[in-house]
């Protein structure tokens, strides 16, 4: 039986500080997605991304950032933080061309009739593209689906 992730239970279980627990979850999902059987090296207080970048089977150099936000945080208020992470990663890690953001919140859909993505999400993606970095998102729905797989 597949049950959705209970994010309130997650917050309760890790109530002293849910961020490290979410970072650990994102790390597991990232390693699984990119077949990093033995994990990925990281430094204490690794800057801009959570671990050293990983080389993918299709020739990309990808890093990830886990962002756990409390219920009252608006994703639009985090635009500059995410851009700063992109810029820092570009300057720090030679050859990085993709960053995946694991976030525990969903973006709100655009109010525009012909668009799904909100303006702040589009600006973040464009900022990355201008630096030669593809931005991908792993939000609640993605995390919940990965977590429901039998092998996870």
What are 73-95's pLDDT values in tens digits? 888 999 999 999 999 999 999 99
CATH number at residue 137: 3.40.1350
Q: How many domains does the chain have?
A: 1
**Residue 26 near residue 100, CB atoms below 8 Å:** no
**50-71: average pLDDT:** 93
**Does any domain span residue 41?**
yes
Domain presence at residue 81: yes
Tell whether 58 is covered by a domain: yes
User: pTM of the prediction?
Assistant: 0.86
Q: How confident is the model at residue 7 (pLDDT cuts 50, 70, 90)?
A: low
Inside any domain, residue 82: yes
In a domain, 134, yes or no: yes
Q: Kindly report, residue by residue over 26-45, the tens digit of the pLDDT.
A: 999 999 999 999 999 999 98
Nearest Cα to Cα of residue 132 among 101, 103, 93: 93
Residue 39 lies in a domain: yes
Q: In this structure, is residue 2 part of a structural domain?
A: no
> Which domain covers residue 62, as residue numbers?
7-148
């Amino acid at each position: 039986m597949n049950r959705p992730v209970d994010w309130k239970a997650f917050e309760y279980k890790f109530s002293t500080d849910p961020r490290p627990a979410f970072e650990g979850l994102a790390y597991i999902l990232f390693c699984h997605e990119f077949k990093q059987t033995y994990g990925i090296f990281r430094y204490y207080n690794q800057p801009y991304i959570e671990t050293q970048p990983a080389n993918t089977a299709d020739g990309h150099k990808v890093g990830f950032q886990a962002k756990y936000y409390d219920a009252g945080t608006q994703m639009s208020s985090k635009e500059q933080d995410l851009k700063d992470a992109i810029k820092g990663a570009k300057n720090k890690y030679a050859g990085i061309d993709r960053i995946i953001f694991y976030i525990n919140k969903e973006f709100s859909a655009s109010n525009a009739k012909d668009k799904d993505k909100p303006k702040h999400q589009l600006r973040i993606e464009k900022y990355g593209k201008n630096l030669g970095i593809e931005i991908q998102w792993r939000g609640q729905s993605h995390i919940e689906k990965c977590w429901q797989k039998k092998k996870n």
